[in-house]
Structure 1
């Protein structure tokens, strides 16, 4: 099953000629999860041939324009193209009011059901679950209510070794073996030992999206050992005071967070438009954490199981 992140936008408050506002698509299996929706997101979806009608959930971290100004346009395009499938939208208080006002004065009655889930950005809480994944909020420290998102695959079944399976096993018993149980008789005696007929399950994968925030070490328990961590890196470390004043982080601070949390891979994003060349930000992070990359437009990051 695919577990793949594509970067649609990486710029902070203002866009530049080659960097767009924040937006990402996380593909898990056959589902698209859109994380933030800055201005121009639907153009980026077309640029990379991503079918927006396949988006099942949209997650908005906070109500600064560079993270949601593309949302009304994208929702309207889905309507104009006849979407019928319900769409789940997760966002902070106020987002529903903004969209309702927009649609009221444009006379828009969506052709599909928009299910809004208002988030408490101050706590870590499960906001979505299906057969494959769970999604939790991660509380950020920003100038307005803001949260990140943690995506985790659920535990996977153990593969059966077909040639070692006794012929008498029933389908329910095979299911129990897949989930790690031994098969016992009515007296409790083991008939089939799980470890003899199954293999270790594939590893469950994870992705943490840390939206706009000051450097916040108390996030570490939420980020521990995640496969892929996106952390904002608006400034280089020589502007650490400016970063703190504006409730942002530096590239070095993002790397320090990744190292302390022992993540597998770090992505830096949300770059200030002042940086025409992002190489110094990357080099700064690499001094602290060797597995770091820039989350620039068009980049794809696959997490293997």
Structure 2
């Protein structure tokens, strides 16, 4: 599980900072999460392949989270993309994008599918044989969702010495790796536990931006390996956080502590502060394992 931060600052692009966008690579899938202005440039800077992005998740319809989307979709067209592209986001995202395409007399040579979200309850919005993605309903000034990315259980690891000892044909290896016992020709049943090792634990990534402090999300993100939680303000500006329906670093850390996540990753910083290290210092008074997102930062959680 690898995360690349393309942008993680609040509100507007600046000379050295970019608004929200990030790429999660998990089980050979590449998911783009939010798509602010500058996302294309940041993808190029970080040498991420445009062609590997088949699913884009938009948390809400504030500009610092999706104003880069129409540009990226247009670039896909110029690249003569043929692969289907899926966009998940609040109701209205389809109307916004199609209006821009129509009035600019543009088109996509690839199939563009919109999955518009309206539910205020957590729901599964993507699933294949390796990964499942659920929404995390958040509380912000407009309809907003976070996203929970979960690996599905991996196949068991073959104990080569054991299967060779029992002279088991390779045609049965797949069955064994998926948990099956093995019956020998003489009727002896070899339990799967003797033939395999436990797989690596599955990983979970929870993305929560933007939101006010909201303990109702805790059950949804319980025990996540990594929680990305917005920390727009410090506690000294808690009144501004409440007014704008954002969170402080201390509040983000409190959610991490309640949910018993393994690591907390802070982001969506207001640029009013002199250093993002201030956010870490505040959060660590509540929760010990704090990481700081920053533009261009790469986190390998393997």
What is the CA-CA distance between 1:150 and the residue it aligns to? 0.4
Q: Retained in 2: the 8 A contact 1:210–1:232?
A: yes
The Cα shift of 1:181 comes to: 3.1
C-alpha displacement at 1:184, in angstroms? 4.8
Deviation at 1:190, TM superposition (A): 5.8
Give the superposition deviation at 1:167: 2.2
1:283 matched residue in structure 2? 281
Contact 1:259–1:289, Cα closer than 8 Å, also in 2: yes
CA distance in 2: counterparts of 1:206 and 1:190, whole angstroms: 39
Q: TM-score, normalised by structure 1?
A: 0.94
The within-5 A match list for 1:178-193 is 178-184=177-183, 191-193=189-191
Q: Quick one: which of 95, 98, 101 aligns to 1:100?
A: 98
Mapped pair 1:267 → 2:265: yes
Q: CA deviation at 1:121?
A: 4.5
Gaps of at least 5 residues in structure 2 are: none
Matches within 5 A, 1:224-243: 224-243=222-241
- What is the 5 A alignment of 1:18-97? 18-97=16-95
Change (3 A) 1:121 1:140: farther
Task: Identify the residue that residue 123 of structure 2 maps to in structure 1.
Answer: 125
Describe the SS at the equivalent of 1:150.
Answer: strand
Which secondary structure does the structure 1 equivalent of 2:157 belong to? coil
Aligned to 1:113: 111
Q: Paired residue for 2:248?
A: 250
Contact 2:18/2:38 (<8 A) preserved? yes
Q: CA deviation at 1:123?
A: 1.4
Contact 2:27 2:151 in 1 (8 A): no
Q: Displacement, 1:30?
A: 3.2
Point out 4+ residue stretches in structure 1 off by more than 6 angstroms.
none
Q: How far has the Cα of 1:185 moved from its partner? A: 7.8
SS in 2 for 1:220: helix
Runs of 5+ unmatched residues, structure 1: none
Q: Which residue is equivalent to 1:142?
A: 140
Secondary structure of the 2:158 match is: coil
Q: Is the 8 A contact 2:87 2:113 kept in 1?
A: yes
- The alignment of Structure 1 onto Structure 2 pairs a total of residues equal to 300
Quick one: distance in 1 between partners of 2:136 and 2:240? 23
Cα distance between partner residues in 2 of 1:162 and 1:153: 25
Distance 2:202 2:58 in 1: 25
- For 1:205, the equivalent position in structure 2 comes to 203
Map Cα deviations across residues 120-143 of structure 1 (whole Å, 9 max, x no partner): 351111111112100001000011
**1:207-228 Cα shifts (integer Å, max 9, x gaps):** 0000101111111111111111
- Aligned residue for 1:181, secondary structure, equals coil
TM-score of the superposition, structure 2-length normalised? 0.95
TM-fit CA distance, 1:22: 0.2
Q: Does the residue aligned with 1:34 lie in a helix, a strand or coil?
A: strand
